[in-house]
Structure 1
Amino acid sequence: MSFHQRIIGIFLILFMTFSTIGCSPKALLSPKPYKETQFLMDTVIEIAAYGSNSEAAVKAAFGEFKRIQTLSDRYNPDSQVSQINQMAGISPVKVSPDMIKMINDSIDISKKTDGAFDISIGALTELWGIGHKGDFVPTQEEIDKVLPLVDYRMIKVDSNNETVYLPKAGMKLDLGGVAKDYALNKAVEILKAHGIKSALVNAGGDIQVIGTKPDGTPWRIGVQDPRNSEGVIAKIQLNQWNTLQTSGDYQRYFIKNGVRYAHILNPKTGRQPTELASVTLVYKDTDIYNAGDVASSGFLVLGLEKGMAALTQFPGVEAIFVTTDGKIVVTPGLKDKVEL
C-alpha cells in the first residue's frame, strides 16, 4: 500500500468515527454541513462547517492552508523555507510575519522539549527521504555526517527586520511538524471571521472544532489504533477542549527486514524513536495556545517517561500515549473523560 493510500485510509477511518460516534435521532434532524476535501500539505484535509455562509467560509479557510503551504513547502524551490535553506551559510533571508511566528514558536517548543522537536532537522529528513526514497536506510556514517547540521540553537531569527539565517552551509529547515497546525489555526480563525459557530477541521488527523454540533452535543473524536487502520483505541468528547493533535509511526513509514522506519526522527540520534507508536495531545488553543505552540511529534521522540515530564512545560495540555507494545497511558486530566 502506498503512502497516499495509507493517509487516505487513515482519514476515512477518522471521518467515519466523527460521523458515527454519538449519533442520535436529534442529530439526524440537524442541518447539513457544507463539506469540502482537498489534498494539501502532504495530507488529506476536510472542513465541515454549518451555517448560511458555510460554503464561502470553507473555501476561504482552504485558502489559508494553501497560503501557508506556499510559504512552508520545502519541496517548492520558490517557498520561503526553501529560500532560507538555499541561503544557508550565505546570508539572511527576508520572510513574512507568518514565517517568523512559525519559526519562533518552533524554537520555543524545542527549548521546552530539550531539542526533541527541532525544525533544523531538514538535512536529516532529506537524507532519509521517507516517502520519497522507497525503503532506503542510510548508513551510520551518512547520519553522522549530517547530525552537526541539526541544532535549533543555531537558527538566527531577527524579528525586527523579519529575517532568518542558517549559519552553516547545508543546514535545512523542515517545518513539517509545525506548519500544518499553524495553518489549521489560521483556517479556524477564517471560519470564525465568516460567522461560523459550528465546524470541524480535520487536517490528516490533527483536528480543531468550533463550538458544538448543531444539535448542541459536544464533538466526539476517535483516536486511531496505530497498529490497526480500522480500529479506534480511544474516544474523547471535546467539551472542554477544541484541539486534538496526533503523531505516530504509522502515518508515513516503510518496513524493511522486519524493522519499521517512520518519518519522525530523533534530532539527536538521527534515527526513529522506538518506544511510542503514537501520541495524541488534547488542549484548548484559545486559552493559552495557538496551534503550533505545542508539537506532538516531539513527545513521540521523548518517549513515555520524558514525555510525561515535559508536559509540565505546557499547562492545559493533556495526552494519550500508545507504546509500541500496545500499552495506553493517559494523563491525569483525561482520566474518566476518555473511553478506551
Structure 2
Amino acid sequence: MRVLLVAFASLLALVGCEQSRQQVHLSGPTMGTSYNIKYISQDGLPSSDVVQAEVDRLLEEVNDQMSTYRPDSELSLFNQSTDLEPFEVSPQTALVVKEAIRLNGLTQGALDVTVGPLVNLWGFGPEARRDKVPSEEKLAARKAMTGIEHLSTEGNFIRKDIPDLYVDLSTIAKGWGVDVLAEYLNELGVADYMVEVGGEMRLKGLNRESIPWRIAIEKPTAEERSIQEIIEPGDMAVATSGDYRNYFERNGVRYSHIIDPQTGMPINNRVVSVTVIHPSSMTADGLATGLMVMGEEAGMAVAELENIPAMMIIKTDEGFVERVSSAYKSYQN
C-alpha cells in the first residue's frame, strides 16, 4: 500500500474565495484504489465529462496491459506462458518493464519486479492467503522462480529465460498510470494540475489560489492519520512507499508486504517509509520501493550518489527520525 499524499489547496487564507480560480476535480476507482485529478479551468479545454471519460479509458488501458489481477492482461498472458521465445506486448508495457530493469540496477537489485511468486506466497498478491508463514522448502521453490536477470526486453518484445518467471509491475505501474494521465493533460494544454493515483502524484503549475501545489506527507502510523511534513515539489512527481499498513502478524512477528529479493522474506529494517521526488511518477514509484528495501545506509548512499531527492522515516527506540538526501532539502518548507 502506498502512503496517502494529500494536496493542500493552501495552508493560509492568502486570498478571498472570490479571487480563487475555478478548479475541476475528477475522481474514480482504478487499480484496486482510486484516482484524483484537480486542474484549473481555462479556455479551450474539453468539458470535464469528456476529460473524465478519456481518463477512465486510459486507466483501463493500463490495467489491460499490466494488471496481474486480470487474467487476460498483457502481463498476465506473459506470466501464464512458459514459452522462452520473445513475447510481443504494447510499447507502453515494454517501456515500463525496461524502466523496471534499469531501476533494478540502480538500486543494486533491491527493486525486482520478478518477486511476484514470493509476494503471492506471503499472501500479498492475487493468491491472497495470509494463513501462515511459508516453510523454507516453499520459500526456496518460489525463490528459484525469480530473478531480474531472467527478464529482458527488445523493442516491443519481452522475454523470459526460465519458464516460471512471473513479473509483477505493481511497484511501478501506479506511477506509470499517473504519468499517462499527466501527459494527457499536457496534450490538452492544461497549465495547472495535480494527478494522484493510489497516493502517487504528479504536479504542474499553481493551485486555485495561484500558489505552488503543496503536498502533505503522512506520518507512518497505522493508528491515526497525521502529517509528517509539507513539501513544495514544483513541477515534479512524488511517490511514497511504506510498510506500516499492509502487513500481517504471526506469533508476535510482523511481516511486511515489501519483499527483499535477496532473502525472499519481507524486509526487516528500520525504514518505515521512503518518499522520492522525480520528474516521472513511474520512476519515483520504483525508487521509493527500491530504496526502502535497501535500508537506511545503503539506500541513502544510492540517493546521494544518484542525486535523488529522497526522505526516509526511520523507526528508533525513541520514536521516528527523519533523514533526507542533499537533493531533497530544497523541497522542504
Same fold (TM over 0.5): yes
Identity in percent = 25
Partners of 1:79 and 1:33 in 2: CA distance: 35
| 1:182 match | 176
Output one character per residue of 1:270-298: Cα deviation in whole Å (capped at 9) or x when no partner. Answer: 11212211000013x1xxx5733752101
Return the offset for 1:136: 3.5
Question: Retained in 2: the 8 A contact 1:71–1:81?
Answer: yes
Cα separation, partners in 2 of 1:20 and 1:78, compared to 1, 3 Å: same
| 2:312 match | 321
Question: Retained in 1: the 8 A contact 2:174–2:198?
Answer: no
Partners of 2:287 and 2:32 in 1: CA distance: 17
Moved more, 227-236 or 254-263: 254-263
**Secondary structure of the structure 2 residue equivalent to 1:197:** coil
1:48 matches 2:38: yes
Structure 1: which amino acid aligns with 2:226? G
| 1:24 match | 13
Counterpart pick for 2:252 among 254, 258, 277: 258
Question: Retained in 1: the 8 A contact 2:304–2:327?
Answer: no
Partners of 1:319 and 1:292 in 2: CA distance: 12
Question: Retained in 1: the 8 A contact 2:274–2:288?
Answer: yes
Structure 2 gaps of 5+ residues are: none
Question: Retained in 1: the 8 A contact 2:247–2:257?
Answer: yes
Matches within 5 A, 1:1-340: 11=4, 14-15=5-6, 18-19=7-8, 21-26=10-15, 28-29=17-18, 30-52=20-42, 53=45, 55=48, 56-130=50-124, 132-159=128-155, 162-228=156-222, 229-239=224-234, 241-275=235-269, 276-283=271-278, 285=279, 289=280, 291-292=282-283, 294-312=286-304, 314-315=306-307, 317-325=308-316, 326-335=320-329, 337-339=331-333
Structure 1: which amino acid aligns with 2:233? L
Output one character per residue of 1:75-113: Cα deviation in whole Å (capped at 9) or x when no partner. Answer: 211111111111134433211111110111110000111
C-alpha RMSD over aligned residues: 2.2
Structure 1 gaps of 5+ residues are: none
Question: Retained in 2: the 8 A contact 1:88–1:165?
Answer: no
**Secondary structure of the structure 2 residue equivalent to 1:272:** coil
Partners of 1:173 and 1:51 in 2: CA distance: 40
Cα separation, partners in 2 of 1:69 and 1:303, compared to 1, 3 Å: same
**Secondary structure of the structure 2 residue equivalent to 1:291:** helix
Question: Retained in 2: the 8 A contact 1:88–1:167?
Answer: no
Aligned length: 320
Structure 1: which amino acid aligns with 2:22? K
Partners of 2:272 and 2:281 in 1: CA distance: 25
Partners of 2:249 and 2:142 in 1: CA distance: 23
Structure 1: which amino acid aligns with 2:290? G
Structure 2: which amino acid aligns with 1:281? V
Question: Retained in 1: the 8 A contact 2:216–2:227?
Answer: yes
Question: Retained in 2: the 8 A contact 1:237–1:338?
Answer: yes
Partners of 1:291 and 1:267 in 2: CA distance: 20
**Secondary structure of the structure 2 residue equivalent to 1:226:** coil
Partners of 2:202 and 2:16 in 1: CA distance: 20
Return the offset for 1:314: 3.5
Return the offset for 1:114: 1.1
**Secondary structure of the structure 2 residue equivalent to 1:230:** coil
Cα separation, partners in 2 of 1:336 and 1:122, compared to 1, 3 Å: closer
Return the offset for 1:246: 0.5
Question: Retained in 1: the 8 A contact 2:202–2:281?
Answer: no
Output one character per residue of 1:175-231: Cα deviation in whole Å (capped at 9) or x when no partner. Answer: 001111111111100011112111111112111112111332111111111115411
Moved more, 18-27 or 36-45: 18-27
